[in-house]
Amino acid sequence: MNNKTPHGLVTGHNLISCIDGLSLQDFDDLTNCTRIATRSADLVHNRFTNSQHWLDEYVRTLMFLGWSLHEGAITTRTRSDISGSIADFLVRSAQTMNDSRQGNAMIDTLDALKPNKPAILSLDEESHKGHRFQVAPSRYDSRGNLHMAVFNLELVANTEKSSFLFWAWEKQSATLVQQSAFLKLDRDVLDTKRELMETKLREQVMKRFALRKMTQ
């Protein structure tokens, strides 16, 4: 059994990236909250045809589980033309975040994902090849609080590609539409929800792929 925290995770249409030093307990809590929030939003809204209401429900569920939303708001939509791969775009975006470790964490997560064919296939299927997917980098602050940035993304392209994250898109052939939410976990609140979470997780069949880089 490998007791080292994975570099990241694919579950549903979510790609979670983890900084070095994230505890296994926090990794499991992050994973479980993501799975429950995804399932909760899927039950009431279609993530492909009603994405705004889906994201609102997703964030509300996270807040119920103990996550607080930064400034109480989800950011408005932004558009970015893609030249090259979406993976490279995600790394560049992570490198601009407050914690410099998140760029390296995203690189490690994507390096672990690229050879994992079952995880890539699952992400392709769940996201309809990028039509709607989420990326969630995680980090600790100086006080040890767990933070998660949720980037809800839509790939607008003139064609569909398998392994869409790693495809070399030509300039002006693909655009990413993004909304963002920044959240911090209150572990005391989460602890009061664990029994309910266990019940909800037993009802789930969502696939879960831990991502670990291959050792040399």
Is 8-200 a domain of CATH 1.10.10?
no
Checking if the pLDDT of 184 tops 60, the result is: yes
Residue 158, judged by CB atoms within 10 A of its CB (0-12, 13-18, 19+), counts as: exposed
Give strand pairing partners of 118: none
Q: Is the pLDDT of residue 193 over 90?
A: yes
145 CB neighbour count, 10 Å cutoff: 13
Distance CA 210, CA 112 (A): 9
At 15, list the tokens: 């790609």
User: What is the spatial distance between Cα 202 and Cα 125, in angstroms, rounded to a whole number?
Assistant: 23
Structure tokens at 11: 């579950």
Contacts of 10 (CB under 8 A, 6+ apart): 16, 113, 116, 119, 122, 123, 207, 208, 209, 211
Output phi, psi for 5, to 5 deg.
Answer: -60, 130
Extract the tokens encoding 62: 């996270």
- Choose between 58 and 96: higher pLDDT: 58
In the chain, pLDDT over 90 holds for what percent of residues?
Answer: 80
Decide: 126 and 164 in contact? Cβ < 8 Å: no
214 and 115 in contact (C-beta within 8 Å)?
A: yes
Q: How far apart are CA 159 and CA 129, in angstroms?
A: 10
Tens digits of residue pLDDT in 30-79: 999 999 999 999 999 999 999 999 999 999 999 999 999 998 889 888 89
For the CA atoms of 19, 153, 48, 50, the dihedral, rounded to the nearest 10 degrees, stands at 100
**Residues 168, 106: Cα–Cα separation, whole Å:** 18
Mean pLDDT of the chain: 92
State percent of the chain over pLDDT 70. Answer: 98
Q: Which amino acid is at 80?
A: S
Residue ranges of domains in the chain: 8-200
Check residue 3 and give its pLDDT: 66
Could you give the residue ranges of the DSSP H alpha helices within 14-163? 24-44, 51-64, 86-95, 101-113, 117-127
Return d(Cα 30, Cα 58) in angstroms, integer.
14
